């Protein structure tokens, strides 16, 4: 018996999309160049260069919850075709939440984290792990990210 087996793309074939540049590739000098499969479709990168095509270096895969909680821009939630969609960066990054409750909780946790960080900026001596509100928020984020 014979059959087709799905092959992982070659390193030079793997590409990602950025908002401003369209398709980008991982630079051959990057430690992730030979990585042919990422568990999450999202990467963060430090450097982008253009030679024969646009490349990114110093990149790391990032999963959805850290992206939502720590990424820039506002978090929005909407109902589309019966699914609750959480979006970032004016809809550029979107994903479907498991339920309305999960979407609301993630959005609220992001708001609480943003407020906590604003409080820390106003009061740099504040110990986030020692204050009850801060330790609860940080504990919830750690639990969410590590059990994802």
Tens-of-pLDDT digits for all 148 residues of the chain?
Answer: 556 667 777 777 888 998 888 999 999 999 889 888 888 888 999 999 999 999 999 999 998 889 889 887 888 888 888 899 998 878 888 888 888 888 888 889 999 999 999 999 999 999 998 999 999 999 999 988 888 7
Instruction: Let me know if residue 1 belongs to a domain.
Output: no
pTM confidence score = 0.76
Say yes or no: 138 and 122 in one domain.
yes
Say yes or no: 78 and 41 in one domain.
no
Instruction: Let me know if residue 93 belongs to a domain.
Output: yes
Please give the residue range of the domain that contains residue 121.
65-146
The DSSP symbol for 57 reads E
Say yes or no: 110 and 142 in one domain.
yes
Say yes or no: 108 and 131 in one domain.
yes
Say yes or no: 57 and 15 in one domain.
yes
Say yes or no: 138 and 73 in one domain.
yes
The rounded distance, in Å, linking the Cα atoms of 140 and 36 is 32
Residue 126 in tokens: 């504040």
3-state secondary structure of 1: coil
């Amino acid at each position: 018996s014979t059959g087709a087996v799905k092959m992982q793309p070659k390193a030079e074939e793997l590409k990602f999309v950025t908002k401003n540049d369209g398709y980008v590739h991982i630079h051959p000098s990057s430690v992730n160049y030979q990585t042919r499969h990422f568990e999450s479709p999202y990467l963060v990168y430090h450097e982008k260069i253009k030679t024969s095509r646009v490349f990114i270096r110093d990149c790391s895969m990032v999963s959805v919850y850290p992206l939502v909680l720590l990424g820039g821009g506002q978090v929005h939630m909407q109902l589309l075709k019966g699914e609750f969609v959480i979006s970032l960066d004016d809809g550029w990054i979107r994903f479907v939440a498991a339920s309305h409750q999960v979407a609301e909780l993630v959005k609220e946790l992001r708001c609480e984290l943003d407020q906590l960080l604003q409080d820390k900026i106003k009061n740099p001596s504040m110990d986030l792990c020692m204050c009850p509100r801060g330790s609860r928020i940080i504990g919830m984020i750690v639990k969410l990210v590590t059990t994802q």
